[in-house]
Structures are given as C-alpha cells and as structure tokens.
Amino acid sequence: MSALSIRGVTVRYDRFVAVREVDLDVPDGTVTGLVGGSGCGKSTLGKATVALAPVVAGEITVDGRKIARRPGRGPVQLVFQDPYASLDPRMTIGAAVAQGLPRTGRAARDKEVARYLELVGLDPARAGLTPRALSGGQRQRVALARALAARPGVLIADEITSALDVSVQGAILNLLRDLQREMGFAMLFISHNLAVVRYLADRVAVMDAGRIVEHGTAGEVFQRPAHETTRTLLSCVPTLEETP
C-alpha cells in the first residue's frame, strides 16, 4: 500500500528541540516499533507525521510524496494514547467514525460506519451512543475505526494500550496485529514497552534525547543491542525467570 519516509526531521518548540534530524523508514506492509524512555521525542515524532507538531526542518513523505502540513484526512492517520481524550464527548461514535470517511450520502455513510465498527469488534447498533457509554478499550476501538475509515496507507499507533487495563491490552494488541496483516497498511508503533514491540514489530528504532540511536530488524535489535539505551530498555523487560 504505502511506505513512510522521514528524512532529517527536526521539531522545535521555541528554544526546545524535541526531535533532532531524525531519519526513519516504515516500509510498505510492515510494522516498525519506535521505542524509548519518557520524554525522548517518540510521541512528538509521531505527531509530526500528521502535522500536529512544528517541523522546522526535514521532509516527511509517503510513497515519495510530501504529506500535507495540516491535520485531517490523509495517507497517515494517528491513534492517540488516551482514549478518554481523543474522542469528542458530544459526538456519537458513529459520527466520530464518519469523520474519516469521504463525503457521501447518508445511507452509504451509515453502511460504512457499521462496517468499520464491526471490523474493530464493536456492535454497529452502538453507533448512536456517545463515548461516555463506552469503556476505555471500546473507546480505543472507536478511535482505531475512525483512523482506518480514512483508508490510510500508514497508521501511527502512539502508546495505544498504555492507558488501558492489563486485561484489555492484549485484546487491543491482537486486534491491531490482525488488522495490520489483513489490510496491509504500514504501521509505526510507538511504545516504551519493549515486550509489546517485540510481539508486533518487524523492525525497531530506538530513540534517545530526540535522536534515533539504533535501528534494525527486531531480531537484530533485541538479540544484539548495540547502544547503551537499548541495553538499558531491554534490562527492564520482565522475564519468566523473574516471575514469582
């Protein structure tokens, strides 16, 4: 479908440089995990791909074409971390999903909304409900449906399970993995949790202080980490031996 290319991207807020000259590729049909500690710039980089962060240098392209410097419908869609803040509380979930759809007639729109709700495991009969009636996991499914309705070639998933109960996280991750394999979109999966990234990603990039300090296949990065930041992150991943 599509491939994301980030070249020399720098993001600055006044005097603070959050992302420094980052190069990163997310190949067509694959999952790239972007990992790092809190404040390293990984979420800012994700926001930059959908024009929600001030890019002061560099270029972001999808299949060689520059992406628009304004948020909205487009080839790259972002699912945010907090399912309680990412949906308008005054809008029904059906209307939220419809935001991603091309303009069409009411009947066709309702049919597509129902299809995307079913795709993420939600009953289309709930389309008339507001987010208040849903759990955190259900809200995150709505956010995912809204993003997929825009038919993106690239999906950015920013810590999308970290705000959910542990019992719900696995279901969302399995859903995301299955949808990516079925629909074939490229995905940048942003997380501080290396165990989750290991489960999903084909390739891994490690970020520290606004820069990419290591990248490679998941096997290379996890089995032969070359940078101290990567080794530190891996040392924090629980193992079976540590389980009481």
CA distance 79 to 157: 5
Look at residue 153 and tell me whether its pLDDT is greater than 90.
yes
**Is the model more confident about 67 or about 92?**
92
Strands of the sheet containing 65-66, edge to edge, are 16-26, 4-13, 55-62, 65-66
pLDDT of residue 80: 92
Residue 195: pLDDT band (50, 70, 90) is confident
Residue 87 in contact with residue 59, Cβ under 8 Å?
no
Comparing CA positions, the residue from 174, 143, 137, 178 lying closest to residue 157 is 143
pLDDT of residue 139: 94
Q: Provide the CATH number for the domain around residue 181.
A: 3.40.50.300
In the predicted model, is pLDDT for residue 67 greater than 90? no
CA distance 51 to 202: 26
Percentage of the residues of the chain whose pLDDT score is greater than 90: 76
Residue with tokens 């999952």: 31
Number of domains in the chain: 1
pLDDT given at position 242: 43
Using one digit for the tens of pLDDT, what is the confidence trace for 169-180? 899 999 999 999
Task: For residue 19, give its domain range.
Answer: 4-242
> What is the rounded distance in angstroms from the CA atom of residue 121 to the CA atom of residue 139?
11
Distance of CA 194 to the CA centre of its chain: 15
pLDDT at 190 over 60: yes
- The span from the CA of 176 to the CA of 180, in Å, is 6
pLDDT band, residue 23 (cuts 50/70/90): very high
pLDDT of residue 123: 96
Question: Which residues are 12's β-sheet partners?
Answer: 17
**Quick one: tokens of 206?**
């490690």
Q: What percent of the chain has pLDDT over 70?
A: 94
